[in-house]
Chains A and B, each alone.
Chain A
Amino acid sequence: MPYPVDENEKFAAYAHPERLVSTEWLAAAVESGAVARGELVVVESDEDVLLYETGHIPGAVKIDWHTDLNDEVSRDYIDGAAFAELAASKGISRDSTVVIYGDKSNWWAAYALWVFTLFGHQDVRLLDGGRDKWVAEGRGLTRDRLAPTPGSYPVVERDDAPIRAFKDDVLAHLGTGPLIDVRSPEEYTGQRTHMPAYPEEGALRGGHIPTAASIPWARAAAEDGTFRSREELEAIYLGEAGLAEGDDVVAYCRIGERSSHTWFALKFLLGFENVRNYDGSWTEWGNAVRVPIIKGAERGSVPAAVGA
């Protein structure tokens, strides 16, 4: 049974208001015992693998993007059987309402939500503002880890095509639809191949995919980590980036995590039907042989050889 949605004025302006919940709403759900009774499942997903252990929202379970959602051997996500096992062990059933939150303006939470969507999980929402807002408001955290009552989750095979782009998809997309590059300006221009103050993950070339607009992911978030209003998001993505209604959009970053945040904003807040996250992102494109790359601040155009 889906848990009731958060009816509030800010969310109502978005294309899919049911995809967000506020900290007030979640606090009330925790208070009412709904989380403890398993009527909705709260999931914390952070960049720091130990942050959950320092204290989490009462009743929340932990899913780590790397150790839980990525395949250990192949550069891919886990398969349907592994996802079913993971979900069930966290108390999640196929019809559960799942609310995900995390650190860094929900960057990793959005990534987890994207992976849930690859498996077609219907009712999965983000906590607007994430962990930081919850903490800033002085709401309670606990270290108690209660073993959830196992859920019942069928083996559902991943359906990548609607929301995931591979390198060949991006090559075919060049010149036919817009791309959004959500990395820092220094990564976009090719000045550097990794985030400022982050580990070098190895890309042999710097720059961006031809025609991609540069809209760093964090611009979708306000200072308190919540998503910007619909009006503000439209000014950024429709105005500045030049997206038009009905566009088929591909977003990318370095490994597909920051672009999940932008994917969420475009798909559920602005209502673009066709948005794909290119999770190979720069760590694939910047190492691939003979793919076109543009250096500098200009978006650039698609070289004739690629389009031909």
Chain B
Amino acid sequence: MTTQALPSALAAIVDDFQALSEPERLQLLLEFSEGLPELPDRLKDHPELLEQVVECQSPLFLTVETDTNDDGAVRLFFKAPPEAPTTRGFAGVLHEGLDGLTAVEILSVPDDMPELLGLTRAITPLRMRGMTAMLGRIKRKVAASSNQG
């Protein structure tokens, strides 16, 4: 696999992870979990607008919105409890790597991108499955909303 095909923000994150030792990668994932933005108030008050990704070990909810102006930027929103830092960390990586891209750019991300982070051994394949599922759900939702438009 190569990071060349990835959108630049996501490629930069993958490079950051790959440059680190395994324990340092966990630390970086923790930083991503802390950097995950809060939901805007309009979504905070309407949990029914978010969908749960049941493949994650801890409760994770997400939704996507597409800007109505011409640039077609897709906005990603995540909600996960602070006592689920691994799940939050995955969400943080996907938020920083994909938020604001177009539907085409997001859909071009390979489904196995999470494996590029080099966390599988430290996190275990079981836990990595949650992140793969999160990316899959984002892509399905983006595909569905861009078909409508």
A residues apposed to B, CB below 8 Å: 47-51, 53-54, 66-67, 103, 197-201
Can you report 29 A-B residue pairs in the complex whose CB atoms are below 8 A from each other? A47-B57, A47-B58, A48-B57, A48-B58, A48-B83, A48-B85, A48-B87, A49-B127, A50-B26, A50-B30, A50-B85, A51-B84, A53-B27, A53-B85, A54-B82, A54-B83, A54-B85, A66-B124, A66-B126, A66-B127, A67-B121, A67-B122, A67-B124, A197-B52, A198-B57, A199-B54, A199-B56, A199-B126, A199-B130
Within 8 A of A (CB), among B29-88: 29-30, 33, 52, 54-59, 82-87
User: Number of contacting residues on B, CB 8 A?
Assistant: 28
- Mark B96-134 against chain A: 1 for CB-CB distance below 8 A, else 0: 000000000000000000000000011110110110010
Chain A neighbourhood of B82, CB < 8 A: 54
Q: How far is the CB of A48 from chain B (nearest CB, A)?
A: 5
Once the chains bind, are B55 and A199 in contact (CB under 8 Å)? yes
B residues apposed to A, CB below 8 Å: 26-27, 29-30, 33, 52, 54-59, 82-87, 89, 121-124, 126-127, 129-130, 133
| Residue of A103, A197, A200 most packed against chain B (CB within 10 A) | A197
Distance between Cα atoms of A199 and B57 in the complex (Å):
7
Distance between Cα atoms of A201 and B129 in the complex (Å):
10
Q: How far is the CB of A113 from chain B (nearest CB, A)?
A: 20
List the 3 shortest-distance A-B pairs measured between CB atoms, nearest first. Answer: A50-B85, A66-B124, A50-B86
Chain A interface secondary structure, helix, strand, loop or mixed? Answer: loop
Once the chains bind, are B30 and A199 in contact (CB under 8 Å)? no
Q: How far is the CB of B118 from chain A (nearest CB, A)?
A: 14
**Closest chain A residue, CB of each to CB of B122:** A67
Chain A neighbourhood of B30, CB < 8 A: 50, 53-54
Additional pairs, 5, CB under 8 Å, beyond known A49-B26, A50-B89, A66-B127:
A53-B26, A54-B33, A54-B82, A197-B52, A199-B129
Q: How far is the CB of A26 from chain B (nearest CB, A)?
A: 19
Distance between Cα atoms of A191 and B30 in the complex (Å):
36
